[in-house]
A and B are shown apart, each in its own frame.
Chain A
């Protein structure tokens, strides 16, 4: 005997009603459109690398982090073997300017070379010979003690200035004063001495002027990285969580596709520098991430039961219903929200140290504790189920390696950007074929003790 339900169902099923022909055309058009691919990773990765490299370049060669007066000499000087000494890149290119200034008098013994804004300036004074001698003394002093301290530099600068304060006329006095001011204002803490090895006077017959071609060297006193012993660095960052091999979420009966996703992290590290090159570093950090995987149903739902019942599903979860729907759906997408707690120690090695920047690497290992906070199961075409998994809480060894870029901010603080990868020595699943890794990019502020 037919039930009401059968009659209603029959009425609906037997009714012929079809969509318009336009529908298929619309579907075709939509399908023909190129799929929007997830480009976030491919943008995020080069952008982060660009930021790191760009930050380093600007910090080292540009004037992003320092005032213009401090950095200007960098445009005209190049490094010499002595890391505290630089020389003009191409003094010839500046000759014309000096002529235009027309401040050079005929006395070659009265030249002081200054730097102001973007150009070399000069003033007249009669004490250039004294200057040369004095600088020569300084050079000898520098060569004896290349690891000079800042206070020593200030003293040498003060002596040079002192030497200039012996003008022989009112006009020259003004010029010298102005020159000294410019010297101080222009170079500030950057250049504290000049080395005028040679001054050539070249006759320019066409212009009927004399050209000055000094061979100038100046020392740069960029803010150096404080050689602190301890660095405490809180940091935050983003991470990319993935696995090298296929995952099996609930055992080998449910092979899963390997997928990955982005997360966030934060933590604090402590670094102790044994010397200028080598240190040790301890990190304590937390990562939050979501691991996505996709499972296919292969008629072994009963094998899933012992595992899935370890998940503390919501009260509304009906396993029988879930089982039936999974069978019909054939595909289950799982999202596992996870919290990873890391503690590791690393060897820290300075690759390259500049005056205000430092590139370093670290390598080390430690322990990672994984706590799966939430599992969300989504059947194709069905609703979601949420659960907590009390089983997935375990610890395992991890290895990690990092690349650091440090930039001095103040005497007490450095900025630290780092990227690294953490490889877990084990699997958190019931099988051993899941090898997760975490790739991260962190930004921190180091406090120096």
Chain B
């Protein structure tokens, strides 16, 4: 019952980081094993779904880090002035974003450089704060902000390319 109720939700949580069906299933397998093994330690405090999503997120990040030998350095903290316009939460025109299909969105995220992709997903999709992202990834908050802005810029550029193609 637990599996049937949450497998789709947790699959999506994992997939956005892994973006590979079989690998996502492998991670999801580990996530459910972890959930079933530690469910007795869950004390009904806080959201159960949130607890499971956290496990899925961390398992996925671990997989991502291991597979890509991924490490964000704090050298990425430097933010040039051109990025400042992306600090707004609405950094992309809504029409362009709405027009984007799920598959196209995932393709863009997939092609995003690793260090931007991770922060982008944690912030924009999972809704974590920079302080939390910094702790999870072991980076400074400034680095997290910097990578988010660069990820947004990347997405914006890709969206512009998409709209140009569509106009043609």
Interface residues of A (CB under 8 A from B): 2-5, 7-9, 11-20, 22-24, 26-27, 30-31, 294, 296-299, 316, 318, 321, 325, 327-331, 380-383
- A381 to B167, alpha carbons, bound, how many Å? 45
Residues of chain B at interface, number, CB under 8 A? 49
The answer to whether B44 and A5 have CB atoms under 8 Å apart is no
CB of B136 within 8 A of CB of A383, answer yes
Which residue of chain B has its CB nearest to the CB of A28? B3
* B166: interface (CB < 8 Å): no
Interface string of B54-66 (1 = CB under 8 A from A): 1101100000000
What are the 3 A-B residue pairs with the smallest beta carbon separation, nearest first? A381-B54, A328-B46, A381-B55
Known contacts A12-B16, A12-B125; decide if A380 and B42 are in contact (CB<8 Å).
yes
Across-interface contacts of B55 in A (CB, < 8 A): 380-381
Q: How many A-B residue pairs have CB under 8 A?
A: 126
- Given A8-B124, A30-B29, the answer on whether A331 and B43 have CB atoms closer than 8 Å is yes
Interface stretch among B68-76, B77-85, B96-104, B111-119?
Answer: B96-104
User: Known contacts A327-B46, A330-B43, A331-B41; can you find 9 more A-B pairs with CB under 8 A?
Assistant: A5-B127, A8-B125, A19-B11, A19-B25, A27-B36, A321-B129, A328-B47, A330-B45, A331-B43
When distances are taken between beta carbons in the complex, the residues of chain A under 8 Å from B89 are 3-5
Q: Which B positions have Cβ atoms within 8 angstroms of A?
A: 3, 7-8, 11-12, 15-16, 21, 24-25, 28-29, 32-34, 36, 38, 41-47, 50-51, 54-55, 57-58, 89-92, 94, 97-98, 100, 102, 105, 124-125, 127, 129, 131-132, 134-136
Q: B14: shortest Cβ distance to chain A, in Å?
A: 9
The B interface is mostly helix, strand or loop, or mixed, namely helix
Residues of A within 8 A of B127 (CB): 5, 9
Interchain CB contact under 8 A, A4 and B91: yes
Cross-chain contact of A298 among B33, B41, B45, B134 (Cβ < 8 A): B45
A300 to chain B, nearest CB (A): 11
